[in-house]
Chains A and B, each alone.
Chain A
Amino acid sequence: MRAATLSVGFIPLVDAAPLIVAQDMGYAAEEGISLDLRRAASWSSLRDMLNFGRVDAAQMLSPMPIAGALGLGGAGPTMSVVSVLSMNGQVVGVSNALAARLRDAGHDFAFDDARLAGEALIRVSPEPLRIGVPFPFSMHAELLYYWLSALGLPAPQGVEIRTVPPPLMADAMEAGEIDAFCVGEPWGSQAIETGVGTLLLPGRAIWEFSPEKVLAVRNDWAEAEEAMLGRLIRAVWRAGRWLAEPGSHILAAEMLSRSPYLDLPAEIIERALTGRMVITPQGDERRVPRFIEFHGGAATFPWRSQAQWIGRQLAARTGLDRDAAARAAARVFRSDLHRAALAPTRADLPGASSKIEGAMGQQTAVASGAGHLILGPDRFFDGKVFDPGHD
C-alpha cells in the first residue's frame, strides 16, 4: 500500500525539527503517511498556504492561530492547534553599540537573569527602544511586551516593536533601524556569526516554559480527516521524543543543515539543540539547560491555559474584550484532539486541559493517565502567576 501524503508547510528554523525528523527518521512512515514538507519564505505566506488549502498542516507561531480567531490580521477559516511543536528557543540580542553601553554600565551578560538584564537595558537604551521581531503575532513579541512592561517601560511609548524578517535582521541592525531583536534559532546565532550583535537573554529567562511553535490545521480539515490527523500528531510526537534524547543532537543538526531545510552549517544549529549558546562574536559561551524543549514536561500538549494567556495579552494590546478573547483563544488549542490522537501510544498526558501558568518553580508531579507525569518549571521572571479561571 502506498503511504498517504500530507503536505506540511514550514519555515526553515531549528524548531521545524519535529516535522523534518518525523519524515526523515521514518516516524511518518511508521504511521503509514509521508510528509511533503513545503518551505515558506514568510509567516504570512505560510498562513495563506494553510488558509487556501495549499497545505494540509503548517508550523505556526503560537499566537498566529489565536490572532486569527480574534479577527486580527485578516479573515480566514478557523484553525485548530493540535500539538505544540516546541517550547522556548527564543533569544534576545542587542546591537554592538547597546552591548558596549551595557558593559560600561557593569552588566555581566550572565544570560540567565531577565530582571537584571532588563533593568540594565532600560537604563542604557535610547528612547524609544526599537526591537525587531519576526511577526506581529509571535511569542517573541509577547515575551518582550510582558518583560519590558513588567519592568516599568511603558508600551507603546517607550518601546517600538517592529516586524523585521529574520533574514533581514542583521541588515536592519547595521542600518540603525533597530537596537535589539527577539528571534528564534538559528537567527540569533547567525547574528553572532555575522558580528552584528551580542545575545542578552534566552526566551526562557522571561518565561520558563512558553509555547513557541505549534502545529495548526484548518478546523474543517481536522473534522474531515480525523484518522490522518491522528497519524500526523503521533508521528510528530515521536519525532519530538527522539529529538529530546541528548544522543540525537548531532544527527538532528546534520539533518536540519541540509539544503532543502535550513541550508546552514550544522555547528550553528547544534547550539540551540544542545543549549550551548555562543553569545558574542568573540566566542563567549553560556550553557542553557532546556534552551528548547520538544518533549519533556508534556511539551507537545496544547494547554488551553496557554492559549488563554496569549488571547488576553493580544486583547489587552489591541483593545478587545479580554474575557471574550480568552474564551475564543481557548477553543483554538485543541487539547482534546491531541489527547485522542495519542491515546494508542505510551504517551503520558496530563489529566487536566488547563493549568495555572507560572506556578511551578520546580519539577512537579501531577495527575496523569499513568499517574506520574512530571511538569515544570514554568515560572515567569517576575514571579506572577496566570490563573485562567473558568474562561
Chain B
Amino acid sequence: MSDALSIVVVETDRDRALLIVDSLRDAGAFDVHVISEPTGLARKILARQPDVVLIDLESPSRDTLEELALASGPLDRPVAMFVDRDNEGLTDAAIEAGVSAYVVDGLQRQRVKPILDAAIARFRMFQRMRTELAETKRALEERKVIDRAKGMLMKARGVDEDEAYALLRKTAMDQGRRVAEVAQALVTAAGLLS
C-alpha cells in the first residue's frame, strides 16, 4: 500500500476539476480522484475511503459531507471539516477563497497544509475569474441599454448619436447617477408608456 494521501475532489465542472487536480499534483504525490456527479455522493465517498475531501463552498452537496462527518459506524473513518487550531488562519483563508476541506481523523496537520495551500490558491483564481466574468457581463449589458436609450433619443428628438450620448451624460451628471442608470430609467419608462 502506498502512503500517498488520497484526495477526493467533488466538482461538477470538468474544466475546474482538471485545474484543481493539476495544482494538487504539482503540490505533491497524492492519489487524486474526482467525483463529478452529486447523486449518491455519500456512497461514492465511502467506497473510496479518502484521507481528504475538497469541495466548493458554493456546492449544495456540502451538507451531505456534514452527514458523513457524523457517521460513526465501526468501519467508518471519522472525517471532520478541517479547522486549524493555530493562528495561521488556514481555515479562514480557505473559507475566504471558497473551498472547504474534510479531513480524516488523526491526519497530521503538516500533511494537510500543502493540499490546502494548493486548493486555496486555485480557488482564489476561480473567484477572480468569476468576478471578471460577472463584470464583463454587466458591462456588456450596460452598453446594450445605453445603445437602446441613445436610439430612442435620436428618434424622439431628431439628434445624432453623439448628441444623444451627451444628453444622457449631462442628465447623469446633473442627477449624480451613472449613465447606465439614466439609460435604464429611460428604457423602462419608454416600455411603460408604449
On A, residues with C-beta under 8 Å from B are: 41-45, 48-49, 52, 54, 72-75, 134-136, 162-168, 171-172, 175, 177
Contact = CB atoms under 8 A, between A and B. Distances in A.
Contacts of A162: 42, 67
A71 to B, nearest CB: 12
Contact of A163 (B66, B83, B92): B66
A175 B63 contact: no
Contact of A171 (B39, B62, B67, B70): B39
Contact of B66 (A41, A44, A166, A167): A44
Contact of B62 (A42, A72, A136): A42
A360 B130 CA distance: 53
**A interface, by DSSP: helix, strand, loop or mixed?**
loop
A52 B80 contact: no
Question: Which 5 A-B pairs rank lowest in CB-CB distance, beginning with the nearest?
Answer: A165-B60, A163-B67, A42-B62, A42-B63, A44-B66
Tell which of B62, B65, B69 has the most Cβ of chain A within 10 Å: B62
B95 interface: yes
Contacts of B91: 52
B146 to A, nearest CB: 22
B64 interface: yes
B57 interface: yes
Interface string B39-71: 110100000000000000111111111110110
B95 A75 contact: no
A186 to B, nearest CB: 15
Interface in B61-114: 61-67, 69-70, 80-81, 83, 91-92, 95, 100
A74 B95 contact: no
B83 A165 contact: no
Given A52-B95, A165-B60, A44 B65 contact: yes
B38 interface: yes
B44 to A, nearest CB: 11
A314 to B, nearest CB: 11
Nearest to A136: B67
12 contacts: A41-B57, A43-B63, A44-B62, A44-B100, A45-B57, A49-B95, A52-B92, A135-B66, A168-B60, A171-B38, A172-B40, A177-B39
A307 B69 CA distance: 24
Contacts of B62: 41-42, 44-45, 165
Nearest to B96: A54
Interface in B136-192: none
A359 B182 CA distance: 60
B62 to A, nearest CB: 4
Nearest to B59: A41
A75 B40 contact: no
B39 A175 contact: yes
Contact of B70 (A48, A73, A75, A175): A73
Nearest to A161: B67
A163 B62 CA distance: 10
Nearest to B98: A45
B40 A177 contact: yes
B35 to A, nearest CB: 13
Nearest to B42: A162
A234 B83 CA distance: 34
B39 A163 contact: no
Contact of A44 (B39, B42, B81): B81
Contact of B64 (A41, A52, A72, A165): A165
Given A41-B57, A74-B81, A177-B39, 9 more contacts: A41-B58, A41-B59, A42-B62, A43-B66, A48-B57, A73-B66, A165-B62, A168-B38, A172-B39
Contacts of B95: 48-49, 52, 54
Contacts of A163: 42, 63-64, 66-67
Nearest to B65: A44
Contacts of B92: 52
A167 B83 contact: no
A94 B21 CA distance: 39
A76 B60 CA distance: 21
Nearest to B43: A177
A135 B38 CA distance: 16
Contacts of B39: 168, 171-172, 175, 177
Nearest to B81: A74
B60 A167 contact: yes
Contacts of A73: 66, 69-70
A44 B92 CA distance: 15
A42 B60 contact: yes
B38 A42 contact: no
Contacts of B63: 42-44, 134-135, 163, 165
Given A48-B100, A162-B42, A163-B67, A75 B83 contact: yes
Given A74-B80, A74-B81, A162-B42, A136 B61 contact: no
A135 B67 CA distance: 8
Nearest to B92: A52
B106 to A, nearest CB: 16
Contact of A74 (B38, B59, B60, B83): B83
Contacts of B83: 74-75
A165 B60 CA distance: 6
